Structure 1
Amino acid sequence: MPALAVLWITGCRPAEIEKGIELVAGRDQLVVKITGAKCEDAGGRERGQPTRHIGFSVDANANPALRFLHALAVQSAADGTGRYTIRHNKDYLYNSVVALGRSAFPKLRTRISPYCFRHQVASDLKAAASDREITLEQAAKVMGHLSDYSIGAYGHAVHGRRGRAGRVLVPYVRTARPIKHSPKVDRLARFKMASAKRRQHKAD
């Protein structure tokens, strides 16, 4: 299912897939355009990203899901550019992923849903940010957030994937709105540094 591949590499929301995910592919590149699902709060204030474009480099060693989506788009290429749109009902997608999870892992007590992909992508992004492959601002853009603090609610860097079939590198991402920097991010960073120093001091 193409929607699973989109979830794997972008961690987007089911409601965003329902709106339609646009793929644009060149010879060795793929751009995924996502129309945001959470762009205003109950008071009409801005939140999230109305649109985001995530660009990937594609080669023989790229993530299998990424290569699959690239192949879908290039099969109808005209003048070197291929396009493909992926759209699924969000409830059908959610229930399908849950059913697949139960079938694949019948003894697992935790429900597998599309949001598991979102948490995993967030973990990958946090790991990449820790390794200084990307910035926290770029990670927020991929997730479709408005603040660089919001990603804190998703995943953990220690669970980030590595290896050929692991996390997907994101060389390019653009959003409709600029990312707002939260002072909470700085306070959290200082807290982590202080905690690490205390642990080191105890170890010595």
Structure 2
Amino acid sequence: MAIRVLLLAGALLVLACSHGATASDPSLLQDFCVADKTSPVHLNGLACKAAKEVVVEDFYFSGLHVAGNTTNKQGSAVTAVNVAQIGGLNTMGVSLVRIDYTLFGLNPPHTHLRSTEILTVLEGCLHVGFVTSNPENKHFDKVLNKGDVFVFPKGLVHYQNNNRTSNAVAIAALSSQNPGVITIANAVFGAEPSIPAGITTKAFQVEKSTVDRIQAQF
């Protein structure tokens, strides 16, 4: 009997670990759970608005046809449509972004720890790529034209670059209501307070003056 209990416990542990490793946003247990952004309740996601207070606008957003402002150092702009814009996305496990790229604009290397991304080029041409995890760090990259689709696996560092002389536009769908974006350069060189110079110089194998010069950009 004791052996059976141990085997059952082991099987449940394996199942739990496996589910934890592959799970994304939690599954729906009701028709919808419109985000109550005024709720003081803190949980993994947002609390639900009372069903009687839900209105059709909770499932609606307008403005994705408007180009983002690309007058910045990177020459790109991301217009997000996630649970912050559409409360009805709460617990749905999906979101959307529009990305605008000016001439030679870049969406710099970044990662979404909670989301896979599927990107479609609407206008222009993009050079895109992602890098696999350690120790291989294999770089997969491709040039995309209008109508092409590319997938960035969940959690991997990826980028898009408009290396042409005309503007580009893309739409990307993500498998989380709140994918979470970590832009690598911003996180390393723009952290507040700063990461100690001894760590960054050793990690990037450069002189402190180089790190100081990069940090000054942020």
- Taking structure 2 as the reference length, what is the TM-score of the superposition? 0.20
Structure with greater contact order relative to length (CA < 8 Å, sep ≥ 6): 1
Bigger fraction of residues in strand: 2
Alignment TM-score, normalising by the size of structure 1: 0.21
